[in-house]
Chains A and B, each alone.
Chain A
Amino acid sequence: KAGVTQTPRYLIKTRGQQVTLSCSPISGHRSVSWYQQTPGQGLQFLFEYFSETQRNKGNFPGRFSGRQFSNSRSEMNVSTLELGDSALYLCASSLEGLGGNTIYFGEGSWLTVV
């Protein structure tokens, strides 16, 4: 069974640009969640999508957004990039959500903002 797949693995963007990251969950999983990992702030929850709807949200500004498609694949978008957005962005999937479900992570997308 294929794991959580994230693309691209590495990318470099310029301040002010926007970026879109993609995540394909494990087959059959309907919940996709996103996380940001930085040396200073550690691992932080961004949001969770379930059945194409954002169900839960962390404490991030509106520049961070996402969506989920009918096949459960998800995309995360960051607009007006700032240097501080440089991070490893992790996607995770689970069958039904964050409560009482095993949550599996992808390898992550490394974003560098210059």
Chain B
Amino acid sequence: AQSVTQPDIHITVSEGASLELRCNYSYGATPYLFWYVQSPGQGLQLLLKYFSGDTLVQGIKGFEAEFKRSQSSFNLRKPSVHWSDAAEYFCAVSTGNQFYFGTGTSLTVIP
């Protein structure tokens, strides 16, 4: 069965520090991959997506992610975190007829 794993439930970083959020998926073929961010009480905002091609994708707000087929991973990175980045981050996988989310990683940013 397909699944998406975000191993880190909660991460705390200092403002200005770099960030990496992990995501692993289980799927037989290359899936469509997404990262979304959710602020408290809000919907999901798309940060970036990978469908094919260059495995390093750039997104909004200075985020990027790298697709590694050999590791079935799609980790999200940001070189310098801002206090406004504090939120819940979800990795998601689409197989074309189903959409699966990870359990989310809650990011706290300390000044």
Seen from chain A, the residues whose Cβ lies within 8 Å of a Cβ on chain B are 4, 33, 35, 42-45, 48, 55-56, 58, 90, 92, 97-100, 102-108
Chain B interface, DSSP helix/strand/loop, else mixed:
strand
Instruction: Give the size range of B's interface with the partner.
Output: 20 to 34
Complex: A105 Cα to B43 Cα, angstroms: 6
The reply to whether the CB of B96 lies closer than 8 angstroms to some CB of chain A is: yes
Query: How many A-B contacts at CB < 8 Å in the complex?
Result: 58
* B60 to A: closest C-beta gap in Å: 12
B 83-94 to A, binary, CB cutoff 8 A, 1 in contact else 0:
000000010101
Chain A interface, DSSP helix/strand/loop, else mixed:
strand
Tell which of B34, B102, B104 touches A103, judged by Cβ atoms closer than 8 Å.
Answer: B34
21 A-B interface contacts by CB (under 8 A): A4-B43, A33-B99, A35-B101, A42-B101, A42-B102, A42-B104, A43-B90, A43-B101, A43-B104, A45-B98, A48-B97, A90-B44, A97-B96, A98-B32, A98-B96, A99-B96, A100-B96, A105-B44, A105-B46, A107-B43, A108-B43
Cβ–Cβ contact A56 & B104, under 8 A: no
Contacts A43-B90, A102-B49, A105-B45 given; does A58 touch B36 at CB 8 Å: no
* Interface residues in B13-54 (C-beta closer than 8 Å to A): 32, 34, 36, 42-46, 49, 51
Cβ–Cβ contact B43 & A98, under 8 A: no
Cβ–Cβ contact B94 & A98, under 8 A: yes
* A47 to B: closest C-beta gap in Å: 10
